Amino acid sequence: MTREYLKKAALTPKSDASETHKTVQGILDDIEAGGDAKALEYAAKFDRYEGSVLLTAEEIEAACAQVPEKLKADIRFSHDNVRRFAELQKSTMQNVETEICPGFVTGQKVIPVDAAGCYVPGGRYSHIASAIMTVTTAKVAGCKHITACSPPRPGVGVAPAIVYAAHICGADKIMAMGGVQGVAAMTFGLFGLPKANILVGPGNQFVAEAKRILFGRVGIDMIAGPTDSLILADSTADAHIVATDLVSQAEHGYNSPVWLVTDDRALAEEVMRLVPGLIDDLPEVNRENAAAAWRDYAEVILCKDREDMAACSDEYAPEHLTVQAEDLNWWLEQLTCYGSLFLGEETTVSYGDKAAGTNHVLPTSRAASYTGGLSVHKYMKIVTWQRATREGSKPVAEATARIARLEGMEGHARAADVRLAKYFPDETFDLTANG
């Protein structure tokens, strides 16, 4: 049996890349040339906000006071989970050294970047969790300065819950500025901020394009497209839970793909029957997003067996991958391409998005075939070093001189020659390329 599409996507998630690039490049050029004043000009135009750009301690305190105690407790719970998982990740990175040959020692050192810029979406939805995910990991990594940047709302400013989350997670500065102008301000070091060494966090297509353009002069976590999710389900899965999970991710946006891959036709048909009603029951904005995403981008794929299901999933390389099937350990061993994996009905993408501890800034658009998501590691530089005795350098110098000459790089060869001549004046070495 070949794979059968019970529902096929009418569209693929993409934007007008050329037009977006042109717009974003123009804004970046303007702000780099015009500095603070030009960034404020764009903020007034796009954010329609003219309050403080960098929140003062008093403004942070006032915003935090607006957050209900129950929500504060939930944010602290999520922060603690993310922090502890990030600390576990950091423990896997160590300074090491080894004696490559007698007298010649090489090593690795792990160094955090100095300044991190964390973008926290605040437009359609207030992404409290994105503040937790980005700022906490930067803090655990050991970054010396962390800026949290989030779009302000006209007459209101940054959502108080985002301010509270960024503050308790360790942001040194909280900036009320959105979109390309916010990304530019962190990159160029405007408003007295240090220039960011790395930009992290999700955003719309303009934020993603700004990060794409700036990559190279600044590091980035990844270039993110619309969020996507895939569910692998067999006959043991609960169709209502599968359908609910699909809808929960479709509400992200009109172009957020969700996919169901199964080997059970009855389950697939029941999920397809349930989804429209679950979408209709959502609040208006969520309903409109989910309905468009399901109509235009969702797919339901029927496979012959679980091996084919796993292969199909790896081809899609989803950002979020859920398994609601028997023998979870088999799936854990078999699957190789995903941003984050959710094994069993007892967990869900929503847990990872908000409070479970694993990071929700993840690779989209099949980038999971070559990279993972945001982690402490993204803020760390793994650098190398070497040290040698004169005797220890001898065999390395000989090999270096001969390899360099074979490549035609005489200058490299002579850097080895002079050391051999100085350290071992009474010895003769064959440093020719052939022989």
| Active-site annotation, residues | 319-320
Q: Which of 298, 330, 311 is nearest to 263 (CA)?
A: 311
353 annotated ligand binder? yes
119 annotated ligand binder? yes
- Paired tokens of 77: 């719970």
SS (H, E, C) 236-299: CCCHHHHHHHHHHHHCCCCCCCEEEEECCHHHHHHHHHHHHHHHHCCCHHHHHHHHHHHHHHCE
264 annotated ligand binder? no
CA distance 46 to 372: 32
- Paired tokens of 420: 């051999």
334 annotated ligand binder? no
66 annotated ligand binder? no
Give me the amino acid identity at 179: G
21 annotated ligand binder? no
- Paired tokens of 277: 């009603």
- Paired tokens of 62: 């006032």
289 annotated ligand binder? no
Specify binding-site residues. Answer: 119, 181, 204, 249, 252, 353, 412
Specify binding-site residues for NAD(+). Answer: 119, 181, 204
Specify binding-site residues for Zn(2+). Answer: 249, 252, 353, 412
